Amino acid sequence: MIRFPIIWAVFLSMVLWSPGCRNQADGMGPVDVSVGQDHGKIVGQVVFSLKTKVTFQVELAKTVEDRAKGLMYRQHLALRHGMLFLFDERLQHSFYMKNTFIPLDIVFMDRTRDGVRVVGVLKYMRPLDQVSRYVEQPSIMALEIRGGQAEALGIKIGTPVKIVLPPDS
């Protein structure tokens, strides 16, 4: 009977005192790599250059299966967290909210001569709405974030973006 508390204590000490991931090159803070019941593994950051730098901790959706599921079935999405979609082609990508229970903003981004920039934003996507929506400009990636954050933070077309991912992404 004593093994369970010891195992639990070891697990908690590993979680609470582990240093986490850190991108040494740009001095960004630690990345939350926790895995929980209602979210996946955080693997990177999306940094918007606004009046100050605004950083989102992101899960990555780069396979067809990951992109198809997105944030479906989630009950919560923390502030400054999201899911980054990396597409195989630069196209006009559409999203709908089937089986998605939280309102979302979707920020579409593309590479330009000046780096990565926001090319469009879908604001306040309604939960469970099955109407596909898209922005006018083609994109190579999109970020799903909690509804209302794009407007509250001032994320708009032309905003510069830095994507910070592990080398194997």
Going by pLDDT thresholds of 50, 70 and 90, the confidence category of residue 31 is very low
Residue 158 lies in a domain: yes
CA distances from 150 to 59, 122, 153, 169 (A): 18, 9, 5, 25
Domain that residue 110 falls in: 21-164
Residue 47 lies in a domain: yes
Total length of the chain: 169
Residue 151 lies in a domain: yes
Going by pLDDT thresholds of 50, 70 and 90, the confidence category of residue 39 is low
Going by pLDDT thresholds of 50, 70 and 90, the confidence category of residue 3 is very low
Q: What is the pLDDT of residues 115-145, one digit of tens each?
A: 999 999 999 999 999 999 999 999 999 999 9
* Mean pLDDT over each residue of the chain, to the nearest integer: 81
Residue 13 lies in a domain: no
What is the model's pTM? 0.76
The Cβ of residue 14 has, within 10 Å, a number of other Cβ atoms equal to: 9
Q: What is the pLDDT of residues 47-63, one digit of tens each?
A: 999 999 999 999 998 88
Partners of 60 in beta bridges: 84
Q: What total of structural domains would you count in the chain?
A: 1
Going by pLDDT thresholds of 50, 70 and 90, the confidence category of residue 109 is very high
Going by pLDDT thresholds of 50, 70 and 90, the confidence category of residue 36 is very low
Is-contact 147 105, C-beta < 8 A?
Answer: yes
Please report, for the domain that includes residue 56, its CATH number.
2.60.120.1140
Residue 169 lies in a domain: no
Residue 36 lies in a domain: yes
- Residue that wins the pLDDT comparison between 127 and 39: 127
Residue 57 lies in a domain: yes
pLDDT of residue 37 exceeding 90, the answer is no
Residue 10 lies in a domain: no
Query: What's the confidence (pLDDT) of residue 22?
Result: 30
Is-contact 98 52, C-beta < 8 A?
Answer: no
The pLDDT of 31-35, averaged and rounded, is 37
Query: What's the confidence (pLDDT) of residue 21?
Result: 30
Nearest to 110 by CA among 143, 73, 144: 143
